[in-house]
Amino acid sequence: MNSDQREIQRKLRVLEPADKIGDVSKACRHFGIGRASFYRWRKAYFENGESGLANGRSVPHKHPSKMSAEVEEKILHLRRKYHLGPIRIVWYLERYHAIKVSDAGVYRTFKRHGLNRLPRGTRLRKVHTQRYNKQVPGHRIQMDVKFLIFNGKQGQKVKRYQYTEIDDATRVRALKVYKRHTQASAIDFVDHIIEEFPFRIQQIRTDNGHEFQARFHWHVEDKGIRHVYIKPSSPQLNGKVELSHRSDQQEFYQLLSYKDDVDLEAKLDEWERFYNFARPHGAFNGKTPYEAVRERL
């Protein structure tokens, strides 16, 4: 006998004696139940027989806070296309659609649609709301190179090199793609960011790659900027630029179809503007890098 059957028998033991003695109040006092419950059980029994005495699920008839299909569709799109986690999706929806949802609600949506786990091989990206930061924009700039390989129109491998600089305090970034991985490219990129960044650069940190050696080093020093090498085999010392390359891969390059260098440069420039001016950042609780700049300057 299962739990529903036991519940049906319990209620029948109340209903049957009441009908026999013809006194509902006395039967209710004897079994310790309220008359309202008795009449509700008897009505259900008359309408549906014994099956009407089984306990129904305690689910409300209306869900005033239930997520709409439109919001759910936006959540699933951001998850499937960009592999964003619940907190980042909460930021995106509030910033760009004025939709307020909880990260728990977003995660439940993942679960319902089987998206709580990312595809095999996808690297997880945690949101850190507390990090070590310099407080003055330009005090320390991290610089590195991301190696890119595309398939050309004839099926050949096309190698390009993305030079990246990120400000430690505000996460403002500059990106530029070069055909060659040389000191000349690194020098040109430094001149580019000196013009582009809205603050004075005091220090640039790089690894010990061949593109950052003597010629590059003295060019930076001649600009009045200190050039510092990180400890060999310690990429974590330039961790912010390394993590930003992961964002590039997950949110930009995996969605890119390479056509030619002109198209690549135009799309990379668009991605840079989006990253700096529109993309919510975990280090600033959903604010953008340039909003962090305005707070610090």
pTM above 0.85, yes or no: no
pLDDT in the model for residue 132: 56
CA distance 85 to 118: 10
CA distance 38 to 17: 12
The arithmetic mean of pLDDT across residues 66-79, rounded, is: 90
pLDDT in the model for residue 129: 44
Residue indicated by tokens 């997950």 = 250
Residue indicated by tokens 């096309």 = 158
Nearest to 140 by CA among 203, 78, 232: 203
**121 or 161, higher pLDDT:** 161
At residue 135 the predicted structure's pLDDT band, cuts being 50, 70 and 90, is confident
Q: Three-class SS of residue 277?
A: helix
Give whole-number Cα distances, 106 to 101, 109, 129, 200, in Å.
7, 5, 19, 41
CA distance 89 to 79: 8
Supply φ then ψ for residue 159, to 5 degrees. Answer: -100, 130
Q: Three-class SS of residue 166?
A: strand
pLDDT, one tens digit per residue, over 238-293 is 999 999 999 999 889 988 999 999 999 999 999 999 999 988 888 788 889 999 89
CA distance 83 to 122: 8
> Which conformational region is residue 134 in: left (phi greater than 0), alpha (psi within -120 to 50 degrees), or beta?
beta
CB 178 within 8 Å of CB 150: no
> Alpha carbon 161 to chain centroid distance?
27
> Alpha carbon 76 to chain centroid distance?
12
Residue indicated by tokens 């990312």 = 118
Q: Are strands 157-167 and 173-178 parallel, antiparallel or unpaired?
A: antiparallel
